[in-house]
Amino acid sequence: MSEHPDTRTQPEEEDPYESLMARRGAPKLRFPAREADPRLAYALVHDELLLDGVARMNLATFCTTWAEPEVLALLAESFDKNIVDKDEYPQTAELETRCVRMLADLWHSPHPHTTLGTSTTGSSEAAMLAGLAAKFRWRERRAGEGKPAERPNFVCGPVQVCWEKFARYFDVEIRQVPMDPGRYLMEPEQCLERCDENTIMVVATLGQTFTGLFEDVVAIAAALDDFERQRGIDIPMHVDGASGAMLAPFTAPDLEWDFRVERVKSINASGHKTGLAPLGCGWAVWREQHDMPQRMIFNVNYLGGEMPTFNLNFSRPGGQVVTQYYDFIRLGREGYARVHRATYETCAHLAHQIAKLGPFEIVHAGDPQKGIAAVSWTLADGANPGYNLFDLADRLRAHGWLVPAYTLPPHLDNLAIQRILVRHGFSRDMADLLLADLERSLKTLAEHPPSKSLSEREVGSFNHDAKAAVS
């Protein structure tokens, strides 16, 4: 007789924690031989997930952690819809098309009804599609001029890791403007120093990952205009609006960064960040139809009808696009402005209080004209409180809060910064609870300062997680 009885014979009402699998532990190393009662399988997975942090208290993530019940209902109703199968799910495809047109209108495309765009699994895929389009356009132009197209590059400031992936995966040199003391963003002069005839695009970031600040799209575009007049080289721009592209239109509508700037040819954004959609939603939109090279579009005819596609992924869930459309018609410009203004108000409150609590220098206080709804700070110059920001992050983690600390990119990799992202659902009351825990943590660190050796070990471990925390 087997010592592992067949769990299929268990009565449905049996306590799942009395089963053999529950007593011995869930399978971890080998594919299980037998099926399990659904109540038991659920209980095992559910209980293991209790070890995860509380998403609403994760102030490192940019992603949506709260949604209306109607969003969750639509997501559940659409879980089985493959958005690439436009023949079988034509209305889901129609909702995607409507979202693209709405975003093109929001971002001032000259022809919002005809320009091309697509949903993606996130902003990183959208960024890579925009980068590939820029590479294809550059290569076609070089071929038309009878020039070699062998060493493409792009210029950017301190960016999210997806752009480093794009450079490596698609064999494009990344020319990154480093940070310098007192300068956290790419400025026009540093940008032009790295441009040449092989530059496929300049990427400006609307909401830098490390600090939350906006780069000056208008100033960079003006510098590239001068560059073209002087050297005859026309370099397009792409705006990485992962978070800012769904904030600025509602909270800083007069700020020019989008297709109002003629040199901007494409924009990527995360629907699942400040677009308020559930995880798994990104967007790429091109200024005009001809800015998307036709060679990037595939016509697929084996899912029931011929359909164009230009995504890196093929099969993708349709529920995130369905819920994004819900958000657009549910909130409109008025609703998004109301929601995002509230997050900026919470930012201002946090920045004001944090500045009073410790020896901190605020880098970004959540000004909607200057950056996304975030607060970032460093230890004040010359301050030596006996602890560092990694120690403070560790103390806050003990209270359940994830408030990341990380070092900045070169040439400021000796400077640590800490950052809070304020999302929809992070209320003023939660902010006050965080501030109370921050004050308690600072008091504990002052009364029981960590040893130097411990702090050094913590810096190493937090540096290891820094890229994950800031992306």
Domain boundaries, the chain: 70-328, 338-470
- Classify residue 222 by burial, with Cβ atoms within 10 Å: 0-12, 13-18, 19+: middle
Its pTM stands at 0.91
The string of DSSP letters for 413-435 reads TT-EEEEEE--TT--HHHHHHHH
Helix axes 452-470 and 389-398, enclosed angle (nearest 10) = 80
- CB atoms inside a 10 Å sphere around CB 77: 12
pLDDT of res. 301: 66
pLDDT of res. 1: 41
Residue 354 CA neighbour count, 13 Å, CB half: 30
Please check whether residue 294 is in contact with residue 279, taking contact to mean a CB–CB distance below 8 angstroms. no
Please check whether residue 224 is in contact with residue 236, taking contact to mean a CB–CB distance below 8 angstroms. no
Q: List the pLDDT tens digit at each of the 471 positions of the chain.
A: 444 444 444 445 567 777 777 778 888 999 998 888 888 889 889 999 999 999 999 999 999 999 999 999 999 999 999 988 888 899 999 999 999 999 999 999 999 999 999 999 999 999 999 999 999 999 999 999 999 999 999 999 999 899 999 999 999 999 999 999 989 999 999 999 999 999 999 999 999 999 999 999 999 999 999 999 999 999 999 999 999 999 999 999 999 999 999 999 999 999 999 999 999 999 999 999 999 999 998 876 655 556 677 888 888 899 999 999 999 999 999 999 999 999 999 999 999 999 999 999 999 999 999 999 999 999 999 999 999 999 999 999 999 999 999 999 988 999 999 999 999 999 999 999 999 999 999 999 999 999 654 444 444 433 433 444 444
Cα gap 462→466, rounded to integer Å: 6
Cα gap 118→109, rounded to integer Å: 15
pLDDT of res. 184: 95
Label each residue of 32-53 as H, E or C. CCCCCCHHHHHHHHHHHHCCCC
Tell me the chain's radius of gyration from C-alpha atoms. Answer: 25
Of the chain, the end-to-end C-alpha distance in Å amounts to: 53
CATH architecture of 70-328: 3-Layer(aba) Sandwich (3.40)
Residue 420 CA neighbour count, 13 Å, CB half: 26
Cα of 315 vs its chain's centroid, Å: 21
Tokens of 206: 């609307």
Residue that is written with structure tokens 């403007």 in the block: 177
Sheet containing strand 282-286, edge to edge, reads 117-120, 282-286, 264-270, 237-240, 199-205, 153-156, 173-176
For residue 411, whether the previous peptide bond is cis, meaning omega lies within 30 degrees of 0, is: yes
pLDDT of res. 465: 39
Detail the DSSP E strand segments found in 332-429. Answer: 360-364, 374-379, 405-407, 416-421
Residue that is written with structure tokens 């909270």 in the block: 251
Alpha helix stretches (DSSP H) within 206-277: 217-231, 248-251
Tell me the C-alpha to C-alpha distance, in Å, between residue 261 and each of 155, 156, 218, 313: 18, 17, 7, 30
- CB atoms inside a 10 Å sphere around CB 61: 18
- Smallest CA-to-CA distance from 86 within 379, 316, 361 is with 316
Evaluate whether the domain defined by 338-470 bears CATH number 3.90.1150.160. Answer: yes
- Kindly report the length of the chain: 471
Q: What does the angle CA 199 – CA 201 – CA 204 come to, to the nearest 5 degrees?
A: 130
- Smallest CA-to-CA distance from 408 within 398, 396, 399, 418 is with 418
Residues near 367 by beta carbon (within 8 Å), at least 6 away in sequence: 344
CA dihedral of 158, 163, 164, 165, whole degrees rounded to 10: 160
Tell me the C-alpha to C-alpha distance, in Å, between residue 353 and each of 330, 376, 434, 453: 34, 13, 11, 31
Please check whether residue 315 is in contact with residue 149, taking contact to mean a CB–CB distance below 8 angstroms. no
